[in-house]
Structure 1
Amino acid sequence: MATDIAAAAHALLRARRERQWLDALPEGARPQTLDEVYAIQALVASELGPVAGWKVGAATPQAEPSGAPLHADTLRWDATPFRADAFNLTGIEAEIGYRLRANLPPRDAPYSRDEVLDAIDALHPTIELVDSRFKAMGPDKLSHAADQGSHGALVIGPALSEWRHIEPPTLPVTLSFNGTVTVQHVGGNSAGEPIRLIQWLANTRARAFGGLKAGMVITTGSTTGMLFVPPGTRVRAEFAGVGVVETAVL
């Protein structure tokens, strides 16, 4: 029996509106494939407003990427604190993001790596706040992927315009909570080199949304793993040679 895409989207949207978190998606509405995940994401996105960015990642440097659209009301360009009660679950991930200066609209010929590089305006340190419309992060990974990839908000740090020399897999990253270093290592992103993720996004996932557009921010997966934080946590992520991004959940 076909998965009920509309019922899945309705359940996720209702959970957002009413803040009544889900144990699971309804029977018959749980995605079984990535195509069904993306169909649910698209229906939810159509109710959340224009797409202003993307999150994209991969389990290994060779794995097929996956992604989810992000919306303007979850992108934050400064260190203004978040209210803890704005979230259900509050996970923290330090990530590398890229802002586009040019459109990459759908077309028949795939975009080359060089074309994608030329479309990028700047690199940004970012912090993704992970959230969920489910009561807990459970084993049904496809349902959580359908829930906007468990996105809560994205804090975007200062732009680095001279970024082409930066190699994220060799980039030291330090993540601190309330002044205490929690993660400090080199690289850390399971996807490896991130430009291939944006190239994949332009050539596949973003096509159904009219392609990638100038001004969009694309964040390319966690470099620190996901760490849950309680209210009262101030977060600082520093990427050596790139910059610092900060936020707080109060």
Structure 2
Amino acid sequence: MTDLAAALLDAWNGGTAVPATTPPPADEAAACAVQEAMVAALGGIGGWKVGASSPVAPPGSSPLPAPCLIPSGSAFTGRMRGVELELALRLSRDVPAGAALALEDFDAALPVLELVETRLDDWPAAPALLKAADLGNHGALVLGAPVPGPFPTLASLDAELRFDGAVVAHTVGGSTAGTLEHLLAGLSRRPGARFLKGQVVTTGALTGLLFAPVGAAITGTLKGVGTVEARFTP
């Protein structure tokens, strides 16, 4: 395990936050290695996150620790209390090593809330590769109920996010990534990744990143898919 992975894990478990001035991984492959070491120590892979800043930008990704996938209605204690409403897909089968992911490999979609957290002491100032190493600022993924396909397109997906009942974001086609196919192709290129039946792949923010107040109740709704809820403990 690298020194960076060990420091991030210590911070995850309540230790000292990692300085944003820490030298970042040398490249994306090195950041992925830090992610994988962290997830192995945190209980193994339960899913994946993938996102892209544009329809032509290379997608970035991270494995998600299995214990951090939690059901709708869960309470979560967070320092940042960042929230992203997203669409996730559930794998219906193991995908052979080296094979490309396709929509046909998934049997259900579900609304999810990614709760965004950091192990860094000054998150806005941290370089991108340091944030990537920190599981892409992952805290938890709150899972709504799965619904069978056909799957909605990102370009037409209607998404609404509420804090304590008040609408804080409403978008149609709010994803920056273009298509699900673009994201799956990018995730497929991650070296050494294994994609297994039952894992979920979450596909990036539909309403942007918003920060909830202390104690807030969070409700996210994807039209035609469903609703997912969480709350932040004071």
Question: TM-score when scaled to structure 1?
Answer: 0.87
Distance 2:15 2:177 in 1: 32
Q: CA deviation at 1:12?
A: 0.7
Q: Which amino acid aligns with 1:155?
A: V
User: Where in structure 1 are there 5+ consecutive unaligned residues?
Assistant: none
1:212-223 mapped onto 2 (5 Å cutoff)? 212-223=195-206
Q: Which amino acid aligns with 1:30?
A: P
Tell whether the 8 Å contact from 1:25 to 1:143 is kept in structure 2 after alignment.
no
Matched, 1:187 2:170: no
Query: Which protein has the larger Cα radius of gyration, Structure 1 or Structure 2?
Result: 1
Q: Given the alignment, which residue of 136, 141, 144 partners 1:154? A: 141
Which structure carries more helix by proportion? 1
Q: Which residue of 1 aligns with 2:71?
A: 77
Q: Which residue of 2 aligns with 1:174?
A: 160
Distance 1:136 1:163 in 2: 41
Matched, 1:92 2:83: yes
Matched, 1:13 2:9: yes
User: Where in structure 2 are there 5+ consecutive unaligned residues?
Assistant: none
- Paired residues, number: 232
Q: CA deviation at 1:138?
A: 2.3
Q: CA deviation at 1:52?
A: 0.9
Structure 1 vs Structure 2: percent identity of aligned residues?
A: 34
Root-mean-square deviation (CA, aligned residues, Å) is 1.7
Structure 1 stretches of at least 4 aligned residues deviating more than 3 Å after TM superposition:
none
Question: TM-score when scaled to structure 2?
Answer: 0.93
Tell whether the 8 Å contact from 1:95 to 1:128 is kept in structure 2 after alignment.
yes
Distance 1:64 1:199 in 2: 9
Give the SS at the match of 1:201: helix
Q: CA deviation at 1:46?
A: 2.3
Q: For 1:146-197, what per-residue CA distance to the aligned partner results, in whole angstroms no more than 9, with x for missing partners?
A: 0000000001111110333x21211111111101001012111111212321
Tell whether the 8 Å contact from 2:32 to 2:133 is kept in structure 1 after alignment.
yes
Q: Which residue of 2 aligns with 1:53?
A: 47
1:23-172 mapped onto 2 (5 Å cutoff)? 23-24=19-20, 26=22, 29-82=23-76, 84=77, 87-107=78-98, 110-111=99-100, 116-139=102-125, 140-164=127-151, 166-172=152-158
